[in-house]
Amino acid sequence: MISKPALVLFSHGSLLCGSGSTLDAHAQQLRESGDFSMVEPGYLNYSIPPVEEAVRRCVEAGATTIVIAPYFLVAGKFVIEDLPPRLESVIPLFPQINFVVTRALEDSEDMPPAIEQVLVTAEDPKKWQRRAIEKARSQCELRKDCPLYGSPMCRSGSASA
Active site residues: 12
DSSP annotation string for the chain: -PPPPEEEEEE---SSTTTTHHHHHHHHHHHHHTSSSEEEEEESSSSSSBHHHHHHHHHHTT-SEEEEEE-SSS--HIIIIIHHHHHHHHGGG-TTSEEEEPPPSTT-TTHHHHHHHHHTT---HHHHHHHHHHHHHHT----TTSTTTTSTTSTT-STT-
